[in-house]
Amino acid sequence: MTSVHVKELHKTYHNASEPTLKGLSFSLPDGKIVGLLGPNGAGKSTTIAILCGLVKADSGSVHIQQLPQDNAHREAIKRKIGIVPQQIALFPQLTAMENLKYFGNLYGIKGKALHQKIEEYLAAFGLEKSAHKEIRKFSGGMKRRANIIAAILHQPELLILDEPTAGVDVQSRSLILQFLREYNNNGAGVLYTSHLMEEAQQLCEEVVIIDEGHLIVQGRPAALIAQHPECKNLEDVFLHYTGMALRD
Ligand SMILES: Nc1ncnc2c1ncn2[C@@H]1O[C@H](COP(=O)(O)OP(=O)(O)O)[C@@H](O)[C@H]1O
Ligand SMILES: [Mg+2]
């Protein structure tokens, strides 16, 4: 079964001179950790935003677990997926607990069940002592961990994260990656973007490399490396396909 099916996506932002997505297509298997990889400006965040229904494509289609991402199915899809955006989406003046209660309520989780779930996750993410601290006083890594909790309170079958390990310290990164492995071991799919090839090579069962708004190559990291005798790791494969030109 495919969990995500993206077909011929085109997107040009208003006032942009160039299209961002130029006929992007790919399909992802169910229940795997998949990396959506590409250089800066490749269109990763735009793709994620379209998958989640936050941005509208000009043309093309998205299906999440066989449901089309359209007005009629947006709510049903929202319950199946958890979204961790690239920018922290928490209220800075509220505490971690207040933020997480707010997000839990959005998904219809309330009362004692919600409180227990929040406490369990705060502990799992090393934030139990900061439950009543305002988010604005959190470090970057703490904010990122709290942002992940906000996305998983409703136990989504597919967790989608945009650069969850960007700008966090080694300890936070290690905890986040370990969490993604465990979440996936419990049966959920994980789709995450990164530009760190070493990390993706270790974590992902499958990678989708995109550049300039279209698919470059997809496969298991080990298979992609094996296909290119001159490449010793995923970073070499990535450079082989995307070239050495610097990006803005
Ligand atoms: N809201 C927007 N308005 C105009 N252009 C945008 C917007 N968001 C992204 N872009 C452009 O689309 C391209 C791809 O961006 P993005 O999807 O963020 O790529 P990535 O996440 O791979 O770095 C970039 O050139 C960026 O400037
Ligand atoms: Mg991005």
Rounded to 10 deg, the angle between the 170-185 and 140-152 helix axes is 10
Express each pLDDT in 35-63 by its tens digit.
999 999 999 999 999 999 999 999 999 99
Q: Ligand 1 pocket, 41 CB below 6 A? A: yes
Cα 47 to averaged position of ligand 1 atoms, centre (Å) = 10
Edge-to-edge strand list for the sheet holding 214-219: 81-84, 158-162, 189-194, 33-37, 206-211, 214-219
SS3 content of the chain, % helix, strand, coil (to 5): 40, 25, 35
In a domain, residue 127? The reply is yes
Question: Which residues of the chain, if any, have pLDDT below 70?
Answer: 1-2
Which residue's CA is the closest to the ligand 1 atom numbered 4? 13
Q: What is the best residue among 12, 22, 46 to mutate for testing ligand 1's pocket, by most ligand atoms within 8 Å of CB?
A: 46
Q: 6 pairs with which residues across the strands?
A: 26, 62
In a domain, residue 25? The reply is no
In a domain, residue 213? The reply is yes
In a domain, residue 149? The reply is yes
| Number of domain units in the chain | 1
Q: What is the best residue among 9, 10, 13, 87 to mutate for testing ligand 1's pocket, by most ligand atoms within 8 Å of CB?
A: 13
Taking the CA of residue 193 as reference, the ligand 1 atom at the shortest distance is: 21
Taking the CA of residue 210 as reference, the ligand 1 atom at the shortest distance is: 22
Taking the CA of residue 39 as reference, the ligand 1 atom at the shortest distance is: 22
Amino acid at 217: V
Cα 2 to averaged position of ligand 1 atoms, centre (Å) = 27
In a domain, residue 198? The reply is yes
In a domain, residue 2? The reply is no
Q: Ligand 1 pocket, 44 CB below 6 A? A: yes
| Residue span of the structural domain in which 98 resides | 30-242
pLDDT at 246: 79
CA–CA separation, 6 and 64 (whole Å): 9
CATH code, 42: 3.40.50.300
In a domain, residue 104? The reply is yes
In a domain, residue 6? The reply is no
148 CB contacts (<8 Å, ≥6 apart)? 84, 125, 161, 164, 176, 179
Which residue's CA is the closest to the ligand 1 atom numbered 25? 41
